[in-house]
């Protein structure tokens, strides 16, 4: 039974506002007695109990009656009303009033109490909302939300005195499932394949402090290949204008090349579709046959990305390719003996570049001798007038001569012996094929008109032979070339793009930025993205169709490697 607490004064009685419990007289179900409402309801049988109080502040026997279920009159017989008013919380209820009137009064009081509870809850929630708003006041609203992914590196000493103490943050504009974001994520995954983050993963590479010294050296041959180091290439890529998209294109291309290597280590221009598991799935084979040229081309692309026979994910691929080249070199050092038509001298220059780069990057003595023999043969094949062509001592053309000068440039960077008299004769040949007084434009042979590819190749050859940036031919020729021969996707010319991109990277400035933006966009978007040919490029110009898919893919890859393949000659790369 419930217990009442009464006032000591009979004039101002008070009611305990608590809750008690009792059992239902009918079914025995526990019931909560709400003392302030003087009532309790059974949830099982519907019995309702009204509590009345005596003047002596004792609980009178409960008067029970069945609570009507649908406004039906109660069948319970009410007891006699008490002689005095009960203690009440609120206005007193006249217990002598008819039962219907007392029930109505109780309902009104009950509604008032419920309304008061609702009002108090609303006020509490309103105060809470105001408090939360004040706590967040002044923080601002971000109009363009982004997800920030942060990687924090501990300050830990690494081999080579490299200290990683920065926080790298990558921001992705929402929504993160957009095609653009997915493309960036996929590109980053491909680009990571060619990088080495931990120096411990590159035991065959020189110490990083030596790489840093080479990159900052005033000797252009000493710093020439230092940017290829896979431990710093990401920084070089960002500093020189490359992106994850360009590096992903390079990674995809190298993957395609590795999948099309023959079992004996060679690559082919005309039969690459029979290598690996291609089985004719790739179209556009070349019309020329030169396994030496094809193998040397692919090795240039591999080595250009820092992949050697001692370092990288393509060590075996590069090793087998170098073994094949060494196996087909003639006793006199030539690589031109087994090629068809006029491709032999091109093959020799390309093989000389590949061997020179491999020796420069690894210092492998087994490669030094074949590389030096290739250089000796190249110089012996030079015409007295300074140029090279298809056969030894034949009067030269600029197309062949440019590749030979590039080979001699790589040989000097590798520390191989190159006769300076040969370089002087080559400079005199370039004087014969320039088409203007300053040397800003060049033709294929003496007396021929200037063309885009020959101008780019001629100016780059001048740079290799020592022209400075203030030479009138360069100051006039570089801006004129960009304006006169812009990139045209409808009329692609990968041979021109290959030479022009290297020249402009050395040059730098606005011309390089303008060219790089268009070149990288054209090559990245035109790369095959699906199927067995993924990572390659369809040949889309006369030279490309002649050399085929492999030739086109290698030149496009070397063009996208320009950011680190050769360090700029007219400036130094600045890294943190």
How many angstroms separate the CA atoms of 479 and 481, rounded? Answer: 5
pLDDT value at residue 72: 40
Residue spans of alpha helices (H) in 98-178: 99-135
Helix (H) or strand (E) holding 167: strand 167-173
How far, in whole angstroms, is CA 442 from its chain's centroid? 40
pLDDT per residue as tens, the chain (576 positions): 434 333 333 444 444 556 666 777 777 777 766 665 666 777 677 676 666 533 343 444 444 444 444 444 444 444 444 444 443 444 444 444 454 454 555 566 666 667 777 778 788 778 877 877 666 554 444 455 555 544 444 444 444 443 344 434 445 454 556 777 777 788 888 888 888 877 777 788 988 899 999 999 999 999 999 999 999 999 999 999 999 999 999 999 999 999 999 999 999 999 999 999 999 999 999 998 999 999 999 999 999 999 999 999 999 999 999 999 999 999 999 999 887 778 999 999 999 999 999 999 999 999 999 999 999 999 999 999 999 999 999 999 999 999 999 999 999 999 999 999 999 999 999 999 999 999 999 999 999 999 999 999 999 999 999 999 999 999 999 999 999 999 987 888 999 999 999 999 999 999 999 999 999 999 999 999 999 999 999 998 877 888 999 999 999 999 999 999 999 999 999 887
How crowded is residue 560: how many other Cβ atoms within 10 Å of its Cβ? Answer: 26
**307, 313 Cβ separation under 8 angstroms:** yes
Give a yes or no: residue 170 inside a domain.
no
In angstroms, how far apart are the furthest CA atoms of the chain? 141
How many angstroms separate the CA atoms of 229 and 564, rounded? Answer: 9
How many angstroms separate the CA atoms of 96 and 283, rounded? Answer: 107
Nearest CA among 253, 268, 265, 335 for reference residue 302 = 253
pLDDT value at residue 165: 41
How many angstroms separate the CA atoms of 378 and 376, rounded? Answer: 5
Strand, coil or helix: what is 311?
coil
pLDDT value at residue 360: 97
Give a yes or no: residue 388 inside a domain.
yes
Read off φ and ψ for residue 39, nearest 5 degrees. Answer: -155, 160
Mark whether 205 and 331 lie in a shared domain: yes
How many angstroms separate the CA atoms of 441 and 220, rounded? Answer: 25
Give a yes or no: residue 44 inside a domain.
yes
Give a yes or no: residue 101 inside a domain.
no
Domain region containing 46:
1-93
CB under 8 A, 24+ apart: contacts of 171-178: 171/146, 171/147, 172/146, 172/147, 173/144, 173/146, 174/145, 174/146, 174/147, 176/147
How crowded is residue 117: how many other Cβ atoms within 10 Å of its Cβ? Answer: 10
How many angstroms separate the CA atoms of 399 and 50, rounded? Answer: 112
Give a yes or no: residue 184 inside a domain.
no
Strand, coil or helix: what is 158?
strand
How many angstroms separate the CA atoms of 201 and 190, rounded? Answer: 18
The total domain count for the chain is 2
Q: How far is CA 358 from CA 76, 189, 351, in A?
A: 109, 27, 11
Mark whether 325 and 465 lie in a shared domain: yes
Helix (H) or strand (E) holding 510: helix 509-526
Mark whether 82 and 203 lie in a shared domain: no
Mark whether 230 and 371 lie in a shared domain: yes
Q: Which domain CATH number covers 333?
A: 1.50.10.20
Mark whether 67 and 215 lie in a shared domain: no
How crowded is residue 322: how many other Cβ atoms within 10 Å of its Cβ? Answer: 26
Domain boundary among 93, 121, 151: 93
Tokens of 429: 């040949």
Give DSSP secondary structure letters for 181-245.
HHHHHHHHHHHGGG---SGGG-TTSPPHHHHHHHHT-S-HHHHTTGGG-TTTHHHHHHHHT--HH
- Give residues with Cβ within 8 angstroms of 283, minimum separation 6: 273, 533, 549
Residue spans of alpha helices (H) in 434-508: 452-464, 472-484, 494-507
Give a yes or no: residue 233 inside a domain.
yes
How many angstroms separate the CA atoms of 381 and 362, rounded? Answer: 28
pLDDT value at residue 141: 47
pLDDT value at residue 313: 94
How many angstroms separate the CA atoms of 153 and 316, rounded? Answer: 33
Strand, coil or helix: what is 374?
helix
Map 398-431 to HEC letters: HHHHHHHHHHHHHHHHCCCCCCHHHHHHHHHHHH
Strand partners of residue 169 = 150
How many angstroms separate the CA atoms of 498 and 453, rounded? Answer: 9
Give a yes or no: residue 127 inside a domain.
no
Mark whether 80 and 215 lie in a shared domain: no
Domain boundary among 40, 59, 93: 93
Domain boundary among 58, 93, 128: 93
How many angstroms separate the CA atoms of 257 and 553, rounded? Answer: 8
Nearest CA among 467, 465, 332 for reference residue 408 = 465
Give a yes or no: residue 153 inside a domain.
no
């Amino acid at each position: 039974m419930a217990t009442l607490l009464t006032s000591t004064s009979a004039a101002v009685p008070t009611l305990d506002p608590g809750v008690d419990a009792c059992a239902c007289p009918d079914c025995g179900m526990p019931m909560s007695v709400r003392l302030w409402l003087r009532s309790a309801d059974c949830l099982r049988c519907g019995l309702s109990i009204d509590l009345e109080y005596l003047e002596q502040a004792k609980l009178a026997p409960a008067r029970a009656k069945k609570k009507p279920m649908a406004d039906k009159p109660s069948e319970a017989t009410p007891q006699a009303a008490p002689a005095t008013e009960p203690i009440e919380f609120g206005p007193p209820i006249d217990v002598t009033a008819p039962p219907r009137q007392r029930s109505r009064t109780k309902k009104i009081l009950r509604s008032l109490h419920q309304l008061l509870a609702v009002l108090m809850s609303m006020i509490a929630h309103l105060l809470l909302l105001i408090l939360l708003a004040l706590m967040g006041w002044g923080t601002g609203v971000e109009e363009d939300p982004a997800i920030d992914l942060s990687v924090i590196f501990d300050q830990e000493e690494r081999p080579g005195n490299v200290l990683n103490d920065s926080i790298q943050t990558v921001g992705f504009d929402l929504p993160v499932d957009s095609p653009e974001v997915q493309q960036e994520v996929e590109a980053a995954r491909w680009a990571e394949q060619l990088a080495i983050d931990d120096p411990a993963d590159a035991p065959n590479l020189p110490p990083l402090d030596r790489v840093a010294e080479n990159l900052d050296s005033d000797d252009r041959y000493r710093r020439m290949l230092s940017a290829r180091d896979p431990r710093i290439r990401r920084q070089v890529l960002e500093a020189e204008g490359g992106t994850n998209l360009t590096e992903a294109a390079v990674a995809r291309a190298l993957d395609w090349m590795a999948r099309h290597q023959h079992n004996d280590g060679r690559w082919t221009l005309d039969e690459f579709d029979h290598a690996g598991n291609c089985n004719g799935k790739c179209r556009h084979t070349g019309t020329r046959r030169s396994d030496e040229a094809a193998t040397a081309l692919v090795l240039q692309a591999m080595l250009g990305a820092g992949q050697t026979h001692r370092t990288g994910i393509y060590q075996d691929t590069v090793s087998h390719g170098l073994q094949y080249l060494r196996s087909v070199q003639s006793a006199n050092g030539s690589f031109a003996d087994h090629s068809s038509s006029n491709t032999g001298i091109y093959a020799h220059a390309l093989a000389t570049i590949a061997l020179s780069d491999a020796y420069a990057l690894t210092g492998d003595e087994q490669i030094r001798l074949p590389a030096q023999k290739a250089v000796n043969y190249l110089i012996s094949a030079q015409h007295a007038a300074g140029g090279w062509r298809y056969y030894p001592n034949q009067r030269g053309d600029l197309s062949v001569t440019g590749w030979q000068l590039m080979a001699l440039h790589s040989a000097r960077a590798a520390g191989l012996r190159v006769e300076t008299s040969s370089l002087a004769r080559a400079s005199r040949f370039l004087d014969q094929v320039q088409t203007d007084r300053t040397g800003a434009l060049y033709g294929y042979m003496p007396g021929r008109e200037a063309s885009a590819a020959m101008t780019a190749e001629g100016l780059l050859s001048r740079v290799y032979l020592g022209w400075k940036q203030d030479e009138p031919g360069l100051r006039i020729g570089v801006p004129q070339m960009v304006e006169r021969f812009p990139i045209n996707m409808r009329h692609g010319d990968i041979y021109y793009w290959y030479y022009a991109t290297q020249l402009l990277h050395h040059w730098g400035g606005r011309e390089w930025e303008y060219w790089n933006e268009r070149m990288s966009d054209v090559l990245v978007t035109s790369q095959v993205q699906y199927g067995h040919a993924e990572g390659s490029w369809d040949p889309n110009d006369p030279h490309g169709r002649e050399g085929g898919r492999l030739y086109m893919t290698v030149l496009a890859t070397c063009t996208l490697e320009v950011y680190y393949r050769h360090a700029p000659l007219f400036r130094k790369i600045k890294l943190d």
